[in-house]
Each structure stands twice: as structure tokens, then as C-alpha cells.
Amino acid sequence: MDAFKDSPTALVADVDCTTEGKPLCDANGVRGYPTIKWGDPSALEDYQGGRDYATLEKFAQENLKPMCSPANIDLCDDDKKKEIKKYQDMSEADLKKEIEAKEKEMKDAEETFTSEVQKLQETYQKLMKDKEAKLEEIKDSGLGLMKAVAANVGKEAKDEL
């Protein structure tokens, strides 16, 4: 935070989501801690990079600057300007519907991921249990005794010499 305290365009801040910062965290989709958000304050994105200082500093220097947005339209290329104009021309109700639809798509993707990971976890646990049972069965079938006999065979031959 100190490295960016005098920046006219970047804000690096710490919010305690368990106390007075909870409403801000809720409004920005913070579900776990620690969470790093970045970007336009009206549409923050999740940071997915490394957490060491050098990586965070490099990311901040490259990304925490004025960016293309409705508030900074002059920084946008023609395609992005057209996209922004399309959304600006929509009624508030239609825009809200579009946002809700996209947020539902994101929620559905998260739910699918969580569900599929749960299935993988259950499969993993079953495979682990099956493997352990098979290994126990193999051991109980005489493997240890076979190894002891095999080790003893070599000793008997040496003892006879």
C-alpha cells in the first residue's frame, strides 16, 4: 500500500470483511479471505496471480492505471467504444436483465465446477479405498512370507559354503 499511496490513479487498500468493511465486501462478491480485487471500482475483478510482493508489485504497475471504461472512454479502442455505446443505449431494466443473466451464467459455471469436483473427490476416495483393500489382500495372501522365504534362500546357500 505504501508504494502506491501517492498515486493519482491507483488505490491499494486493505478492507476487513469481518467488521465494518463487510458491506463493501458483500457488494463486491468477496466470499473468501484473503481476496484480492482489482480494476474499475464499479466492476472489480478477481486477482488470480501470485501472492509474493514482487509479483503483486509488477501486476500493480502494469494494471493499476486508468483503463478503458465508460468513465474513460477516450482510452478505449473503437470496438470497445461500440460495446460501451450498445450498453449505454439499453434501458436500465434491459441492462439489469443482461447483467443478471451473465451473473447467473457465472454462478452456474461455479456450481457445475463444484459439483464435478465433488464427484471427482468421491471417485478418488473410492479408488483409494479399493486400492488399500487390494494391497491388504495381496499382503494377506502371503507376500510377506514369500519375501522372507526368498531372503532366506540366499542365506541358506551362503551358510552351506
Q: Is 11 left (phi over 0), alpha (psi -120 to 50) or beta?
A: beta
The pLDDT tens digits for 69-104 are 898 899 899 999 999 999 999 999 999 999 999 999
Q: What cell does 32 get?
A: 473468501
Q: Scanning the structure block, which residue is given the C-alpha cell 526368498?
A: 150
* Every domain of the chain and the residues it spans: 1-66, 100-161
For residue 90, the model assigns a pLDDT of 97
pTM above 0.75, yes or no: no
pLDDT band at 126; cut points 50, 70, 90: very high
